[in-house]
Structure 1
Amino acid sequence: MSSKTGSAVTTTGRRPQRWAKIACWTAFCAPLPSAAWRLAMLTGINTGFVYAHVYRDGGARTAYVLGLEAVQLCAAALCLGLCYPWGERVPQWVPGFGGSPLPRILPIVIGGLGDALLYLIIGSTTVRFASRWLGLAEGLTPTSGMSPGAVTVLAIAYAPMLIWPLALTVALVGYWRRRA
């Protein structure tokens, strides 16, 4: 452990670049507020979302939200592997491969595919909702029927998602450069 940066030395013997570590942590933290908002909605906290009852029925829609939470939080946690040693080696518990270095290309390809999906999903959702809010298209948005205060809370919870793909891109570049 370096006393100056607090970063563990990775398998390459190089510490993560400061900017790459900030990007990894930003990518990890960006989806957390929206996950907290959805969990609050599921637990019955009044988020102002008029269709919350539909997702709290205990059925498939509740499972959908909980599944979304699990995928989102696991993906966020994996972003941290781009700046820590555990993202460079196969876990010890994997029979036959435990402790082996991961090929540099593997996290880049998997992370790159995930990053492309983030750009696609977040970008298309932003465009769809913005076009509705601006009156350029018709359709429901999560803010339909919400008070201004509830819309503000929703915006604060979801705004960090907009930087998740960009932060992941920067983190992937840092991982690639460090492992070169």
Structure 2
Amino acid sequence: MKAINAPRPKPTSVDTEQPVPRWARRVARAIPWVLLPQCLWRLPFGLRFEMGLVGDEPMPNVWISLPYVLTLSVLTEALGLLCFGLVRGWGEVAPGWLPFVGGKRIPPYAAIIPATLGGLAATAFWTPTLLSWFGVLDGAKGFANVWWSTLAQVCIAPGMLWGPMVLALAYAYYVRRCRRHPDEYLGAEWVGYAAPVLDLNETALHQVRRLGFAPEDVRHVVLTHLDRDHAGGLADLPHATVHVHKAEYEAGIAGGADRYRAAQLAHGPRWATYASEQGDPWFGFDAVCRLDGLPEEILLVPLGGHTEGHSAVAVDTGERWLLHAGDAYFYHGEVDPDAPRSHPLLDFVQLGAEVDRPPTRTRPPARHRGRSLLLSRPLGIPTLRPHEPRQHIRPSPSARPTLEPKQPGRRMGPNQPGRHLRPPSPAGA
């Protein structure tokens, strides 16, 4: 199996409790730059150079004006850099070197309230100047000529964005730390009957961190489908490309069914979708797709029925195939090769979730194709199921514990129609 180059773990000291939206990080990085032009424009005033201003007020002594202008410019940039606290871990947990508060969690509103007031103050300060430029208010500063006036406006105008940018960051900080409630994210009714474990340590974000990586190190996520109990961790990994069947993407984005939660996709994932007509044969199944940017040993196997674009994920380890079957079946008895049977309680959930009605109660379309694939386990395909307590890690008794090396075969690709992987020989062949 080809290895994906693992990125080096990043320091956890900059991690936030929940991922920061990409746009918020960009806004925070932009703030010092939008403030810089006016800070530089202001510096000549410290040396009593008037930058084309016309007025009767005399310039103060250089020993007063220079320290004042330098201090004001440095303080402005320092406040701009302080806005990084709204997108960095030290804005949630005080740095350890700070006396008395070092290492302590910062209450959300201890950052939200000052940031909001600061953003409002900056907006209120610059609004009259902006309105005077457009002739709405009187009191615009006079300049010796249009060139000096244009230079002043070009340097000052970017800084006028500071207030709205801080308000946007304060809102994003508020949403990240105060508004991620299970009822909104998963649905109150579903939370009531499913009773999920609402423990931050169980989330994708914290599990990735326990492995020594940052959320942005996760570059790809392959989903079987977009049900709320499968897509809930996407917001924890906002930098990843999400691979999913095209039909599932369209159903999830449309959001017509309660099973798809808009809050889980509100961060705007980067999608990679795969249509049925672009795949290739594999183990008797058509439309099996290789995934863009991932090794060719990872495949998306369409198994529609539970949802419009439900798929399994197959992984070739080099010794055998492993299959993540998603919700292709809920009960291990359904894939019993001798006496397939369903579970009456799980049938209630399963039949209610399927998008097509089964012809028989024990072999609905959603499970019929999945069962056909899973019964190929004598060829050595162990199966993993998220809702099945019995993990089908071992091949069936009629298969060898490990397979011999695969027979040579052509690798399938999206631009190579008809090419496919030849399955390994069954036991005894």
TM-score by length of 2: 0.35
Q: Alpha-carbon deviations, 1:12-45, whole Å to 9, x = none? A: 1x33101111222233322111001101443466
Matches within 5 A, 1:124-139: 124-127=128-131, 129-130=132-133, 134=135, 137=138, 139=139
Q: Distance in 1 between matches of 2:68 and 2:104?
A: 35
Give the match for residue 19 of structure 1.
23
For residues 99 and 90 of structure 1, the distance between their equivalents in structure 2, rounded to whole angstroms, comes to 5
Name the residue aligned to 2:225.
Answer: none
Alignment partner, residue 238 of structure 2: none
Query: Is 1:154 aligned to 2:152, yes or no?
Result: yes
Runs of 4+ that moved beyond 4 A: 6-9, 43-46, 50-53
Residues 143-176 of structure 1 show CA distances to partners (whole Å, capped at 9, x for unaligned) of: x233222222111101102211111111112212
Which of 78, 81, 85 in structure 1 is aligned with 2:85?
81
Is the 1:20–1:83 Cα contact (8 Å) retained in structure 2? Answer: yes
Q: Secondary structure at the match of 2:77?
A: helix
Shift of 1:108: 0.4
Taking the aligned partners of 1:49 and 1:76, their CA distance within structure 2 comes to: 27
Which residue of the other structure, out of 171, 174, 178, is the alignment partner of 1:173?
171
Task: Select 1:29's aligned residue among 29, 33, 54.
Answer: 33
The aligned residue for residue 68 of structure 1 is: 72
More helix by share: 1
TM-score by length of structure 1 reads 0.77
Q: Does 1:58 align with 2:79?
A: no
Q: Does 1:163 align with 2:173?
A: no
2:169 and 2:153 map into 1 onto residues whose CA distance is 25
- Structure ranking higher in strand proportion: 2
SS at match of 2:59: helix
Q: Is the 8 A contact 2:32 2:80 kept in 1?
A: yes
**Are the counterparts in 2 of residues 90 and 100 from structure 1 also a CA contact under 8 Å?**
yes
* CA spacing shift, 1:149–1:7, aligned 2, 3 Å: farther
Q: Distance in 2 between matches of 1:165 and 1:136?
A: 20
Q: 1:148 to 1:104 in 2, by over 3 A?
A: same
Shift in alpha-carbon separation, 1:54–1:46, aligned structure 2, 3 A: closer
In structure 1, C-alpha distance between the alignment counterparts of 2:84 and 2:121, rounded to whole Å: 18
Higher relative contact order (CA 8 A, sep 6+): 1
CA distance, structure 1, for counterparts of residue 100 and residue 137 of structure 2: 57
Structure 2's unaligned 5+ residue stretches are 1-6, 179-429
- Name the CA shift for 1:23/1:47 in 2 (closer, same or farther; >3 Å): same
Contact 1:27 1:164 in 2 (8 A): yes
Is the contact between residue 23 and residue 167 of structure 1 (CA under 8 Å) also seen in structure 2?
yes
> Could you tell me whether the CA contact under 8 Å between 1:30 and 1:164 is conserved in 2?
yes
Q: Which has the larger radius of gyration?
A: 2
Structure 1 vs Structure 2 CA RMSD: 3.0
Aligned-pair distance for 1:80?
Answer: 1.5
Task: Answer yes or no: is the 8 Å Cα contact 1:112–1:172 preserved in 2.
Answer: yes
Hey, what's the Cα distance between the residues in 2 that align with 1:64 and 1:46?
15
Give per-residue Cα distances to partners, 1:61-90, cap 9 Å, x unaligned.
Answer: 444333322331221111111112222222
CA distance in 2, matches of 1:74, 1:30: 13
| Contact persistence 2:48–2:59 (CA under 8 A) | no
Matched residue of 1:54: which SS? coil
* Equivalent-residue separation in structure 1 for 2:136 and 2:31 (angstroms): 32
Aligned to 1:49: 53
- Aligned-residue sequence identity (percent) comes to 25
| Structure 1 stretches lacking a partner, 5+ long | none
Is the contact made by 2:119 and 2:165 (CA closer than 8 Å) also made in structure 1?
no
User: What is the CA–CA distance in structure 2 between the aligned matches of 1:79 and 1:65, rounded to whole Å?
Assistant: 22
- Asked whether the 8 Å contact 2:93–2:103 carries over to 1, the reply is yes
Residue 113 of structure 2 aligns to which amino acid in structure 1?
V
Separation in structure 2 between the aligned mates of residue 172 and residue 68 of structure 1, nearest angstrom: 24
Q: What is the Cα deviation at residue 102 of structure 1?
A: 0.9
Q: State the number of aligned residues.
A: 169
